[in-house]
């Protein structure tokens, strides 16, 4: 344990915690932390991409439509160890090489955490290829229609809808409102299991077939009449995706609208979700889907109103996507998941309310030293404020007790740690959790609280290590 203490020393804090750690936006809520890591747009040689995909090996095909599709997507790895997705078009798709490069550069200028961004292209002879960020956790179709271990949770379905709406709004704001054949195969999940919209659908000639959709039942009415995609057509397709999320099946819009008009919309809902959402929430999303699926294009909402409406429906917004999806972060299935205690689970989820209840109920560890009446009174006042969730007062009283210096209490540091987290002071919270560990090196709670503070600071790897340490100590205690 001594090595662990030295790792999280005060010097470590100053050298590892960047000043912007607390101020930087949360990636789960559309922050910008990742944007700087997205490579700039490049033009690749055919040889580069052959090497990356093992000669365009069939073993590297990741396209849901398989080898029969005219445009095939391969998984690849560049020499700098960057994983990529390479879309190889049929040679007739882009006869004009200049138009292809201009279109690719235009789409490649977009950069959003809601997109699987385009990072390059290749145009040699008849070859037309696009290179995008690789998304390791498969497609929405896989998780929604062909799940193996658990159906997608209601909160995650709402998040998928919101993130897609945000992707469409971003594209619209950049003059790229047209998206070709928006469907569940175009929605991909990144290493954190956040849903992203494939950039390939933003290319004018990127359709996988001759028609807008492989199934006419899902094609926007105006496209059937005119053969043209409009921003309103994209919203219609978004409505079909909402039906997918509601039902867990690919239901034709006409059938769904008949059920909605007949007030039989409960029949639309995925039976796996029964009891996991309120009728009001289900009704609201059904109404919203029906607005997107209006026959007259002008009656459908725009991208901005999609975001506004879906923002108000979000549930469990503080829970990371990989937790909601039940998939290890970074797509590392070889690692066995930790068997966490309720406190460990609460710290992983960053459920501060649950942590507060557990700390309050668990009471105090043995304190060392003798407190005089004045400092003891500060502790009592701090406990009363902590119980009443008056965290500012709790911080003041606990600080007065700690500064008194006559009594050492790991529990006071633990409680002040949570009070700091409740006050959005994650760095101070980490310092207190570390101090509790120094006082009581075998106390799992100190490690769990470190994990929660580190998660708040965006320091995922260290947070997971602290969770692991706390879990191991808990297991050790249970054996004794």
pLDDT tens per residue across all 480 residues of the chain: 333 443 343 333 333 333 322 223 233 333 333 444 567 899 999 999 999 999 998 888 887 444 445 678 999 999 888 999 999 987 777 888 899 999 999 999 999 999 999 999 999 999 999 999 999 999 999 999 888 788 999 999 999 999 999 999 999 999 999 998 899 999 999 999 999 999 999 987 654 434 455 567 788 888 888 888 889 999 999 999 999 999 998 888 888 888 887 777 778 888 888 888 888 888 889 999 999 999 999 999 999 999 999 999 999 988 999 999 988 875 443 344 557 788 888 888 888 998 999 998 888 865 554 455 667 888 899 999 999 999 999 999 999 998 887 778 899 999 999 999 999 998 999 999 999 988 888 899 999 999 999 988 878 778 888 888 888 888 777 665
Q: 339-479 is classed in which CATH architecture?
A: Alpha Horseshoe (1.25)
| Global pTM value | 0.62
Are 158 and 166 in contact by the 8 Å Cβ rule? The answer is no
**Where in the chain is CATH 1.25.40.10?**
339-479
- Tokens for 383? 């406990």
- Which H or E run includes 88? strand 83-88
Q: Which of 48, 96, 181, 190 is catalytic?
A: 181
**Rg, Å, the chain Cα set:** 26
Pairing state of beta strands 83-88 and 115-116? unpaired
- Answer whether CATH 3.90.1170.40 is correct for domain 41-133: no
Which class for 21: exposed (0-12), middle (13-18), buried (19 or more C-beta within 10 A)?
Answer: middle
Q: Which residues have C-beta within 8 Å of that of residue 377, sequence separation ≥ 6? A: none
Q: CA 443, CA 441: separation in Å to the nearest integer?
A: 6
Q: Is 181 a catalytic residue?
A: yes
- Tokens for 46? 């055919």
- Burial per residue of 238-276, b for 16 or more beta-carbon CB atoms within 10 angstroms, e otherwise: bbbbbbbbbbbebbebeebbebbeeeebeebbbeebeee
- Tokens for 4? 């662990």
Q: Say whether 77 sits in a helix, a strand or coil.
A: strand
- Which residue matches tokens 């101020």? 23
**Where in the chain is CATH 3.30.200.20?**
41-133
Q: CA 166, CA 100: separation in Å to the nearest integer?
A: 26
CATH class of 140-325: mainly alpha
Bridge partners of 122?
Answer: 129
Bridge partners of 88?
Answer: 72, 129
**Where in the chain is CATH 1.10.510.10?**
140-325
**Torsion sign over Cα 232, 234, 237, 242:** negative
Rounded to 5 degrees, what are φ and ψ at 408?
-105, 125
Q: Which candidate, 439, 436, 370, 375, places its Cα nearest to that of 383? A: 375
**DSSP result, 111-166:** --TTEE-EEEEEEETTEEEEEEE--TT-BHHHHHHS-SS-PPPHHHHHHHHHHHHH
Measure CA 184 to chain center.
17
- Which H or E run includes 87? strand 83-88
In 10 A of CB 10, how many CB atoms? 10
């Amino acid at each position: 344990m001594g090595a662990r203490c030295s790792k999280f020393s005060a010097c470590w804090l100053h050298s590892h915690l960047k000043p912007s750690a607390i101020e930087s936006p949360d990636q789960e809520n559309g922050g910008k932390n990742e944007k700087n890591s997205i490579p700039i747009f490049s033009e690749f040689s055919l040889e580069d991409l052959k090497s990356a995909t093992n000669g365009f090996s069939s073993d590297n095909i990741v396209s849901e439509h398989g080898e029969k599709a005219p445009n095939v997507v391969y998984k690849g790895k560049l020499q700098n160890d960057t994983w990529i997705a390479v879309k190889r078009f049929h040679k007739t798709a882009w006869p004009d090489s200049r138009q292809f490069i201009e279109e690719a550069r235009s789409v490649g200028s977009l950069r959003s955490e809601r997109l699987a961004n385009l990072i390059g292209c290749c145009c040699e002879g008849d070859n037309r290829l696009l290179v995008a960020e690789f998304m390791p956790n498969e497609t929405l179709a896989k998780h929604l229609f062909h799940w193996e271990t658990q159906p997608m949770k209601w909160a995650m379905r709402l998040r998928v809808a919101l993130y897609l709406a945000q992707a469409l709004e971003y594209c619209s704001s950049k003059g790229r409102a047209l998206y070709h054949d928006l469907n569940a195969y175009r929605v991909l999940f990144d290493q954190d299991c956040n849903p992203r919209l494939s950039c390939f659908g933003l290319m004018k000639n990127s359709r996988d077939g001759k028609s807008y959709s492989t199934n006419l039942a899902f094609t926007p009415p105006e496209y059937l009449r005119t053969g043209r995609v409009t921003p309103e057509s994209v919203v219609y397709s978004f409505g079909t995706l909402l039906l997918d999320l509601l039902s867990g099946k690919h239901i034709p819009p006409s059938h769904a609208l008949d059920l909605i008009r007949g007030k039989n919309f409960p029949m639309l809902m995925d039976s796996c979700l029964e009891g996991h959402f309120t009728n009001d929430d289900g009704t609201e999303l059904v109404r919203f889907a029906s607005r997107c699926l209006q026959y007259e294009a002008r009656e459908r909402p725009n991208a901005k109103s999609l975001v506004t409406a879906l923002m108000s429906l979000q549930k469990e917004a503080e829970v990371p996507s990989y937790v909601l999806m039940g998939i290890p972060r970074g797509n590392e299935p070889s690692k066995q998941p930790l068997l966490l205690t309720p406190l460990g689970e609460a710290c992983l989820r960053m459920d501060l309310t649950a942590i507060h209840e557990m700390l309050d109920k668990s009471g105090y560890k043995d304190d060392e030293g003798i407190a005089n009446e004045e400092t003891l009174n500060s502790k009592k006042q701090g406990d009363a404020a902590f119980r009443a969730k008056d965290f500012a007062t709790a911080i003041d009283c606990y600080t007065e007790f700690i500064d008194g210096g006559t009594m050492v209490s790991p529990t006071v540091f633990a409680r002040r740690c949570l009070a700091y987290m409740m006050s959005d002071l994650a760095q101070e919270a980490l310092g207190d959790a570390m101090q509790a560990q120094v006082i009581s090196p075998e106390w799992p709670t100190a490690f769990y609280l470190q994990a929660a503070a580190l998660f708040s600071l965006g320091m995922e790897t260290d947070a997971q290590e602290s969770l692991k340490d706390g879990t191991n100590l808990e297991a050790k205690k249970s054996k004794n």
